[in-house]
């Protein structure tokens, strides 16, 4: 088993208890996670092909062009896993630009749907390379809204090192578990703000059955 399989299982666990909602995982690892969840604990999840179709077990089961995605966002039956160029301790996320918004040092994608996602439904983040460049004391532009700004739907952050959540009295980030072989120090050394570390566990390893499913979902190991 590799570290990345642990990350896939941790992404699958984001959807525990989700039921019949739209899972919108951005990026390969969250996608594998959502598919794994649907094959195991959460068979009722809906997923799109990234274009205009809902794909069920036996192919197309529905039509969801971009404009109808906005209906789902506003209706709230969705859990998105987004990426982040910057993320602060309250879960504020930046995918817009680095530096001054009038004249950025680096232009990124733009707000995309992050402001709407985070005020309407559950949001998690996937960070493939946990570093101080991403986990910053303060984001330059708030695209996705965090817990200190009056919204409470940021669920978890899964990174290549650990799983984080916001289950603290002030809604700031807490280290839930480190992946097998990763120390708490390693996480802290790569995070640009203090983390609550009272009860840190070890991220679960995927079961043999889950590993088999992950291999079936990604036979060419694009995840590695």
Binding interface with other proteins (CB under 8 A):
51-53, 63, 65-67, 70, 73-74, 96-97, 101-116, 118-120, 141-145, 149-151
Smaller CB distance to other proteins: residue 116 or 192? 116
In whole angstroms, how close is the CB of 82 to other proteins at the nearest point? 13
Smaller CB distance to other proteins: residue 44 or 51? 51
In whole angstroms, how close is the CB of 119 to other proteins at the nearest point? 5
Smaller CB distance to other proteins: residue 108 or 217? 108
Smaller CB distance to other proteins: residue 118 or 124? 118
In whole angstroms, how close is the CB of 115 to other proteins at the nearest point? 4
For residue 101, with 0-12 CB atoms within 10 Å meaning exposed, 13-18 middle and 19 or more buried, which class applies?
A: exposed
Smaller CB distance to other proteins: residue 116 or 128? 116
Q: CB–CB of 78/72 below 8 Å? A: yes
In whole angstroms, how close is the CB of 215 to other proteins at the nearest point? 26
Q: CB–CB of 177/197 below 8 Å? A: no
Nearest in space to 99 (alpha carbons), one of 113, 115, 85, 119: 85
How many angstroms separate the CA atoms of 24 and 35, rounded?
11
Q: In sequence order, which residues have a C-beta less than 8 Å from that of residue 62 and are 6 or more positions away?
A: 46, 53, 54, 56
In whole angstroms, how close is the CB of 174 to other proteins at the nearest point? 21
How many angstroms separate the CA atoms of 177 and 223, rounded?
21
């Amino acid at each position: 088993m590799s570290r990345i399989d642990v990350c896939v299982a941790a992404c699958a666990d984001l959807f525990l208890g989700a039921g019949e909602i739209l899972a919108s995982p951005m990026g390969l690892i969250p996608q594998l996670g959502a598919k794994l969840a649907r094959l195991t604990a959460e068979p009722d999840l809906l997923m799109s092909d990234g274009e205009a179709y809902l794909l069920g077990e036996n192919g197309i089961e529905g039509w969801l062009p971009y404009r109808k995605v906005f209906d789902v966002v506003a209706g709230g039956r969705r859990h998105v896993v987004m990426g982040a160029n910057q993320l602060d301790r309250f879960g504020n996320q930046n995918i817009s630009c680095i530096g001054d918004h009038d004249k950025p040092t680096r232009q990124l994608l733009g707000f995309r749907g992050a402001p709407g996602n985070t005020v309407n439904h559950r949001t998690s983040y996937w960070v493939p390379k946990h570093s101080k460049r991403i986990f910053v004391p303060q984001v330059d532009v708030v695209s996705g809204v965090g817990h200190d700004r009056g919204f409470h739907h940021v669920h978890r952050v899964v990174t290549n090192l650990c799983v984080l959540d916001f289950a603290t009295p002030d809604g700031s980030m807490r280290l839930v578990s480190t992946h097998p072989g990763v120390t708490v120090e390693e996480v802290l050394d790569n995070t640009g703000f203090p983390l609550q570390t009272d009860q840190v566990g070890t991220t679960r390893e995927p079961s043999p059955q889950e590993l088999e499913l992950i291999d079936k979902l990604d036979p060419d190991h694009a995840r590695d």
